[in-house]
Structure 1
Amino acid sequence: MSLEPEIRTAAGVVRGRWESDVAVFRGIPYAEPPVGARRFGAPVPAQRWDGVRDALEFGPPVPQVAHTGSVMSSVSGSVEDGSADCLTLNVWSPDLGAVRLPVMVWIQGGTYLENNSANPHQNGATLARSGVVVVSMNYRVGADGFAHITGAPHNRGILDQIAALRWVQDNIARFGGDPANVTVFGESAGGACIAALLVMPTAAGLFRRAISQSMPGTYFSERLAAAISTTIAVQLGAKATIRDLARFPPRALTDATDAVIRKMPEFVDIWGPMALTPTPFSPVVDTEVLPRAPWRALVDGAARDIDLLIGHTRDEYRLYTSRPGGEPTDARITAAFDHLTPGTDGSGRYRTAYPDATPGQRFEVLNSDWLFRMPSLHLADAAHAGGGPVWFYELAWSFNSEQGASHALDFLLIFGTLSPDEVRAHPCAHPNAANEITPVAHHMRTDWVRFATTGKPGWAPYDPQTRTTRVYDAEPTTQPYPEETSRRIWSAHQFDTLDLTS
């Protein structure tokens, strides 16, 4: 067995590397660099190359705040450090000679602002050893990927994901994978992109199963997205058009976006509740790329042929409130209850429902509900109403008292990239957490792989009467939905496209 295996893809030969018992191919281009005339366009498939292309290093990250490549300062995209060639993907395969292993395509989150498949916490090796071919990708984020820009297609970041999924269909069999058994899975913004992919006409037929983890329930109308993009462009003295914004390098757009993020709460009376979130971007519901918000489309059966696993963590928003400076002020608490709760007297309903909680704790529960937990639960209801098979879960296990079962903990367990030693070293770790993490992670990963393989994760499907939920704690259990108190508050609410409020 060659230590540097070579695989012929549709565009050319790539050379990877066996790392222990997993073959890894990094930085394979699935689309042409999104620079110059292609910058705000739909992705263009990667051109063919001659000879053998090394696939030993991750590709450069897409333009974002932490990216230091010279493409960040380039308008033309003509750079010498390779940082323009950022639309790449990675493959982990346990057996290149296998025939039709299940394929799991990871779509990472990052508030639609960050994206880097080189993140060591998203290493696919452990998951691949469970018997699946794992694929991850870089896709455009920020204004380049999600802003409303006149003359450009909406949701360019999701169009990148679709281009990567087409690459999987064309090439993954050569890596031992089954193009007819593809599962997309993702967390946070990645989970919301997956909910969009479920109902996008251009994504039809590209995957068989989907796992949406902690999806935020924010999808923007064109009017709302246009208002936000106009405000960002004004920071540059420009209009939100291809012609105007093409004059500015990505760094200028990320700086302008950051300036708007810092003052977003000032726009809450116009932009509505999205102004109280950490990001000015979300998928845009238009008449072409994403015709309807996922809940409505799923009710009408848009994805009834797709197996769906969906869920959230118990303490979603604690990731944000536990950060330095994250403790909410009285003004933030008031604004949240004024703008995020369903119906009238939301503050009173949460006080009644959670009488022993402090105002700060109720703020955390409200944000967990509005942004992550209830959108996920309602998506499961919508999928069931549309006739599709759906399963539900909640992660209740945590390793430290500071963050609890917070947002993003789930994917660390599934990828197996949070070690017992790291848990043990945490100053707020629970006494037995280091011993518990390996079996908890194993349970989740096994269920994810079982779902990707068979379409059934190992417990009863979800339905709105029983609301059967797999709860991952030190020992997993199957029970009725644990967050019944919040569910009742939101039972009459309908999640849908967010629009301008005035």
Structure 2
Amino acid sequence: MTTSESRPPQSGSAEPVVRTAAGAVRGRQEDGLAVFRGIPFAQPPVGEARFAAPRPASAWGGVREASAFGPPPPQESGVQGRTGVLDAPEGDDWLTVNVWTPDPDPAARRPVMVWIHGGAYKLGHSGSPGYDARLIARDGDLVVVTLNYRVGMEGFARIEGAPANRGLLDQVAALEWVRDNITAFGGDPGQVTVFGESAGAGSVAALLAMPSAAGLFRRAIAQSVPGTYFSDELARDIGTALAAEAGLRPTAADLSAVDPRRLTAAGEALSAKMLQYQDRWGQVAPTVTPFSPVVDGEVLPATPWRALAAGSARDIDLVTGHNRDEYRLFLALAGKLGRIPDDEATATLRLFAPGPDGDRAYRAAHPGATPSELYERVLTDWLFGMPSLHLAEAQVTGGGHAHVYELTWPAPGQDGAFGACHGLDIPLLFGTFAADLGLLLFPGGEPTPEGEALSARFRASWTEFARSGDPGWPAYGPEQRLVQVLDAEPKVTPYPEEASRRLWEGYDFPELPLLT
């Protein structure tokens, strides 16, 4: 059983010390919170532990300093920090958690929120400035935990001699750490909410379907759930291609011989030429993301939609939703806004729209839409919008409750060109407008008054849900389909994207297959 070694100090007093199951840690007092960074929840997954399921952290003597974020797991380039490069320490201790708490007193028993970051299952780390959780913890008067997990080759490549979904197993290990230790930080292990965005939301959805995660959390928030889950056959084929980029066989023994930081180059190389594999990998090829959770039948027995519809999470309170213009971020970053020709839009509609006549059906449902608008709409629907909506519908089918939202407020950056794009909910939720994506979406990193108000509403809804299971709007149902529209003037309405909902009605997002 864990206990706090000292009561939280007042301003100007000694830094807070808490005893965990593995040893004592010393954090820092910051803005009225006790903050602990870089606490190991598992052993470094290197050496004999490489490509293995996470192992419990080794104990230490004395008091361990917990004032700095742990190193991020090896990953491809593209993570931007304060300096424009990966702004984090180096080292092998990738599997760490960070805690923000108003009061590290075991008697406090505050609700706990556990954040799982996104990044296409190949990028990201909990030390990114955009995930500074102080406002969530302070405004919501609760405990927030953020965590690292293995990404890319280390966490998700399907290889022989290694369990599938190692990144998801890391998340389970972090949740077990929360169960065993969070009381000492003033949290209630029986009141845990997992929340995440993009690949983090895909991870949350997977956790809802994983037997090993059962009982580790009571509530879940999934923001912009990706619909991409690989069949085992597809994942193994992609794993073979990944290993071939390094000149190796797809085995843990072969790949363990290569330094983890060098092996990331294999993922980058394959991402750059995935379109060459479209005849084998189908819809995965244009995503340039060779990593996703694998429906392996053991760690992840079924897709989240099928698992939830069968009742796997009926006792979990769920909030899920998406942003109206998800795919616009990627078009804007590629310089392709408004520049998609009709033949490319047609090919994309035929590849991603449901049913044998998806091109015609989308054009009929969106009369007058330009090729660029159709292209953006179908990719928004396929990748994030409909997977998020259908997760709620599966939860209701399985006997549970779900609340749905749609973010429609346009980001003010570049005169609103980004719209309500993918990732906009991160700076709004965390209030980190001057960090990471916030700098792109908010001119000068400064929110407008509307943005400030919406940011406060995000945190209020999310933290109240963590506390009571009620985010402040009605549950979603098959008749009225009520959702919370988050805009300058938030309102509850029937699901706004009715045209898309009808096009995708009955689709259950099966695992993506190997085509040949």
Give the TM-score normalised by the residue count of structure 1: 0.94
The aligned counterpart of 1:288 is: 298
d(CA) in 1 for partners of 2:440, 2:75: 30
In structure 2, which of residues 91, 111, 115 is the aligned counterpart of residue 102 of structure 1? 111
The aligned counterpart of 2:67 is: 56
* Worse-matched range after superposition: 303-312 or 239-248: 239-248
Q: Which residue identity is paired with 1:201?
A: P
Assess if the C-alpha contact under 8 Å between 2:318 and 2:402 holds in 1: yes
Q: Which residue identity is paired with 2:102?
A: P
The aligned counterpart of 1:482 is: 496
* Worse-matched range after superposition: 90-99 or 165-174: 90-99
SS of 2:406 mapped into structure 1? strand
1:257 to partner: Cα distance: 1.1
**CA 1:224–1:468: 2 relative to 1, 3 Å:** same
Aligned residues: 487
The aligned counterpart of 2:86 is: none
The aligned counterpart of 2:3 is: none
* Worse-matched range after superposition: 241-250 or 101-110: 241-250
Assess if the C-alpha contact under 8 Å between 2:279 and 2:515 holds in 1: yes
* Worse-matched range after superposition: 419-428 or 239-248: 419-428
Matched, 1:344 2:359: no
In structure 2, stretches of 5+ residues that fail to align are 1-8, 80-88
The aligned counterpart of 2:30 is: 19
**CA 1:458–1:329: 2 relative to 1, 3 Å:** closer
In structure 1, stretches of 5+ residues that fail to align are 69-80
In structure 2, which of residues 443, 446, 459 is the aligned counterpart of residue 445 of structure 1? 459
1:253 to partner: Cα distance: 2.2
The aligned counterpart of 2:449 is: 435
RMSD across aligned positions (CA): 2.0
**CA 1:276–1:423: 2 relative to 1, 3 Å:** closer
* Worse-matched range after superposition: 325-334 or 222-231: 325-334
d(CA) in 2 for partners of 1:10, 1:360: 54
Matches within 5 A, 1:453-492: 453-492=467-506
**CA 1:428–1:99: 2 relative to 1, 3 Å:** closer
1:252 to partner: Cα distance: 3.2
* Worse-matched range after superposition: 398-407 or 19-28: 398-407
The aligned counterpart of 1:248 is: 258
* Worse-matched range after superposition: 26-35 or 411-420: 411-420
d(CA) in 1 for partners of 2:90, 2:292: 28
The aligned counterpart of 1:171 is: 181
Cα-to-partner distance string for 1:241-262 (whole Å, 9 max, x where unaligned): 1111112122332111111111
1:428 to partner: Cα distance: 13
1:115 to partner: Cα distance: 2.0
d(CA) in 2 for partners of 1:305, 1:378: 18
1:234 to partner: Cα distance: 1.1
**CA 1:390–1:425: 2 relative to 1, 3 Å:** closer
Assess if the C-alpha contact under 8 Å between 2:34 and 2:104 holds in 1: yes
d(CA) in 1 for partners of 2:475, 2:185: 32
1:459 to partner: Cα distance: 1.1
Q: Which residue identity is paired with 2:265?
A: D
Give the TM-score normalised by the residue count of structure 2: 0.91
SS of 2:448 mapped into structure 1? helix
Cα-to-partner distance string for 1:209-268 (whole Å, 9 max, x where unaligned): 000000101111110000111111111221111111112122332111111111112212
Matches within 5 A, 1:78-477: 83-97=91-105, 99-129=108-138, 130-327=140-337, 329-330=340-341, 332-400=344-412, 401-418=416-433, 426=443, 434-477=448-491
d(CA) in 2 for partners of 1:442, 1:177: 23
Q: Which residue identity is paired with 2:27?
A: G
d(CA) in 1 for partners of 2:325, 2:346: 21
d(CA) in 1 for partners of 2:59, 2:24: 9
SS of 1:322 mapped into structure 2? helix
1:338 to partner: Cα distance: 2.3
1:419 to partner: Cα distance: 5.7
1:25 to partner: Cα distance: 0.2
d(CA) in 2 for partners of 1:36, 1:424: 41
